[in-house]
Amino acid sequence: MADNRAKTRVAVAGLGAIGTDVVKALDQGIEGLTLVAVSANSPDKHRGWVAELKSAPKLVPIGQLAEIADIVVECAPSTLVRSIVAPVVERGKTAVVLSVGALLQNEDLVDLAKAHGGQIIVPTGALIGLDAVTAAAVGTIHSAKLVTRKPVAGLVGAPHLVGNNIRIEGITEPLRIFEGSARDAAKGFPANLNVAVALSLAGIGPDRTRVEIWADPTVTRNTHRIEVDSDSARFSMMIENIPSENPKTGRITALSVIACLRKLRASLRIGT
Ligand SMILES: NC(=O)C1=CN([C@@H]2O[C@H](COP(=O)(O)OP(=O)(O)OC[C@H]3O[C@@H](n4cnc5c(N)ncnc54)[C@H](O)[C@@H]3O)[C@@H](O)[C@H]2O)C=CC1
Ligand SMILES: O=C([O-])CC(=O)C(=O)O
């Protein structure tokens, strides 16, 4: 029997490490979804390969995405989150947000979504275990902690390092460069610590979630360990992410977005 249900229209904002893989997966086909538009900072750089996609999405400025699509996937620099997400949720549509850290400076976006029947979806991204954290949060979480270790290349240039004159180039031993709340981690490492904010939003919030960050010349992978203690379970989990062509971003991040999109309309849905 033919399936005549309309496909949900998806757009992708930002064609970097994450966006490019998500676009290619959508073009190959995800149940119930169709790719209709993409946005890039330098459209001319991307016109060639985008035109060759089967789905032939429009290449448009981010301001046009909310009109064209039902779901907009934000894979752009964190400074653009507001301009991408606000017009989407204002129309009662869905925004998938990767630059999660920026949600802390734009908390009213959630209220905006609520007022208009829109939705903001944060995929597990580079992290592990948000299914268990959201489940534990239905009960009471006593504590949640993230310990992140990254190679130097995944951290250089972070505002916390620049602002405090912390030099990590050339270190030969692991160096703890930050200890504090997820909120402060997001301010000091806006392009590196989205995972801390995702953990905090799943669990006990950005002020109670504790974060340690290590610049570690002995690791080649972006490594995140979460430790949660709650009235239903105690758990610790670790993920060692192979960096993508963007050393700050683990390869699994794009795969997590693709898995999240597959779940939206899948006939069988596994996990919380
Ligand atoms: N939630 C999570 O677990 C993770 C989140 N992230 C975050 O996701 C976001 C995307 O990450 P990546 O793909 O690795 O970054 P990237 O730097 O590789 O890609 C971002 C792309 O956005 C483009 N862009 C800039 N201005 C634009 C504009 N006005 N219109 C359209 N495109 C524009 C850039 O040219 C670039 O191609 C970042 O904010 C990053 O911090 C990254 C890794 C994990
Ligand atoms: O937290 C992030 O934004 C990215 C990250 O650590 C990773 O990809 O492992």
- pLDDT (tens digit per residue) in 240-262: 999 999 988 999 999 999 999 99
Q: Per-domain residue ranges for the chain?
A: 8-125+252-265, 130-241
pLDDT score at 99: 96
Please tell me the number of the ligand nearest to residue 211's CA: 2
The pTM assigned to this predicted structure is: 0.96
Residue 134 corresponds to which tokens in the numbers above? 């959201």
pLDDT score at 192: 81
Separation CA 173–CA 33 (nearest Å): 47
Nearest atom (ligand 2) to Cα of 243: 8
Residues of the chain predicted below pLDDT 70: 1-4
Strands 71-74 and 8-13: parallel
CATH of 130-241, one of 3.40.50.1820, 3.20.20.140, 3.40.50.300, 3.30.360.10: 3.30.360.10
Instruction: Decide if 224 is catalytic.
Output: yes
CA angle 31, 114, 11 (to 5 degrees): 35
pLDDT score at 3: 65
What is the tens place of the pLDDT at every residue in 165-221? 999 999 999 999 999 999 999 999 988 889 999 999 999 999 999 999 999 999 999
Separation CA 209–CA 105 (nearest Å): 17
Q: How many CB atoms lie within 10 A of CB 78?
A: 20
Sheet containing strand 141-150, strands side by side: 175-181, 210-215, 141-150, 222-230, 234-241
Give residue 51 CA to ligand 2 midpoint distance, Å: 30
Tell me the CA distances in angstroms from 191 to 47, 77, 157, 179, one per residue in order: 26, 8, 10, 17
Count CA within 13 A, CB hemisphere, residue 111.
4
Amino acid at site 210 = R
Q: From the CB of 125, is ligand 1 less than 6 Å away?
A: yes
Dihedral over alpha carbons 244, 63, 121, 126 (to 10 degrees):
10
- Could you tell me the fold of the domain covering 8-125+252-265? Rossmann fold (3.40.50)
User: What ipTM was predicted for this assembly?
Assistant: 0.97
Give residue 150 CA to ligand 2 midpoint distance, Å: 9
pLDDT score at 2: 56
Atom 29 of ligand 1, residue of closest alpha carbon: 41
Separation CA 99–CA 193 (nearest Å): 9
pLDDT score at 1: 55
Q: From the CB of 241, is ligand 2 less than 6 Å away?
A: yes
Mutate to test the pocket of ligand 1, among 42, 47, 99 (most ligand atoms within 8 A of CB): 99
pLDDT score at 16: 97
Kindly tell me the sign of the dihedral angle through the C-alpha atoms of 50, 55, 59, 62: negative
Nearest atom (ligand 2) to Cα of 252: 8
Please check if 126 is assigned to a binding site. Answer: yes
